[in-house]
Amino acid sequence: MPGEFEHHDGCWIIWPERPDNWRNGGKPAQRVFVQVAAAIAEFEPVTVVVSRQQYRNARNMLPDHIRVIEMSNDDSWMRDCGPTFVVNDETGEVRGVDWSFNAWGGLVDGLYFPWDADDQVAQKVCEIERIDRYRLDDFVLEGGSIHVDGEGTLITTEECLLSPGRNPHLTKEEIENTLKEYLNLEKVIWLKRGIYLDETNGHVDNICNFVRPGEVVLAWTDDKNDPQYEISKEAYDILTNETDAKGRKLKVHKLHVPSPVLITKEESEGVDAVAGTLPRKEGDRLAASYVNYYTANGGVIVPQFNDPNDEKAINLLKELYPDRKVVGIYAREILLGGGNIHCITQQQPSGKVKK
């Protein structure tokens, strides 16, 4: 599995619309998704997946050079339900890993029901791209729960991969062995937890990301009274005492989180209350982080929150990615839906990665 920072042939995104997750029928979020898609399209081709009901609306809102494909889906988290692409370095052959998807916990603590349309997305993407796939019917995994360096190292969290709603029939060692087998890994680094109150059970993509092999960014706060401090400090201690698959000590860059982002009354009332879907309540703290940025071919697309740390985040990413253009997009509407910028990368037979 290549690292996200490697070359892409394109980017896949799913259009937001469900009214029990996105406020006001998803209209505010759709406008932000258009900005995200247009920003990424400056650097690589973008494909947007959209339901039959929203096809004409999405096609009208999105720029003409962005491909729009009609596909059934349950919600807009392509990184989590889409395929993980792996490449044979010798032959250039590409295959997709089609993990089972159960909406972040199934009937134990999943975020919505049903999720069967999302669980078919990976297969459909692979068929559109005309590549073979490995289907794992007995192994639940979301793409946002793992990050790799492209050289045999993977970072994840125990909070997520060992959660009872994923693979309770497997031990930690068995989970690690499955990841090693399908992604050709040599080393798995286990952080304990993800961002505070992250409803995905602590996805790693919101707390830690590879900048390049041997180098990571980590969500951080200096406020010792914030519950995030203990989580980030714990992760920092693990990372600074670990080595990667090549035996390198990791260089850790602290990327400060914004001040706590809370759901307003207006935002809460704009989301339909439906049984089986996680409610959005006034005053709830959202899992805001700059680490969940998207690394495009010549750019970095980073969420912004109208916070003093916005500029600091952009400046740090400019230092870490000197050959890429850093683009900030106000992402509160995406965060309200439960996440940040969510896309997938794909490796093509040309040897280039598609995200």
Q: Is the peptide bond before 114 cis (omega within 30 degrees of 0)?
A: yes
| Rounded Cα–Cα distance for residues 337 and 312 (Å) | 25
Q: How far is C-alpha 279 from the geometric centre of its chain's CA atoms? A: 21
**Per DSSP, what are the bridge partners of residue 215?**
212, 251
353-to-87, 98, 135, 140 alpha-carbon distances in Å: 9, 17, 20, 24
Contact (Cβ atoms closer than 8 angstroms) between residue 239 and residue 218: yes
Sequence-distant contacts of 166-171: CB under 8 A, at least 24 apart: 166/102, 166/105, 166/140, 166/141, 166/201, 167/139, 167/140, 169/138, 170/139
Q: 346 near 44, Cβ under 8 Å? A: no
Exposure string for 68-79, b = 16+ CB within 10 A, e = fewer: beebebbbbbbb
Q: Which residues pair with 349 in a beta bridge?
A: none
The active-site residue, picked from 81, 126, 208, 343, is 343
Active site annotation includes 343? yes
Q: What is the 3-state secondary structure (H, E, C) of 137-165?
A: EEEECCHHHCEECCCCEEEEEHHHHCCCC
Which residues are annotated as catalytic?
343
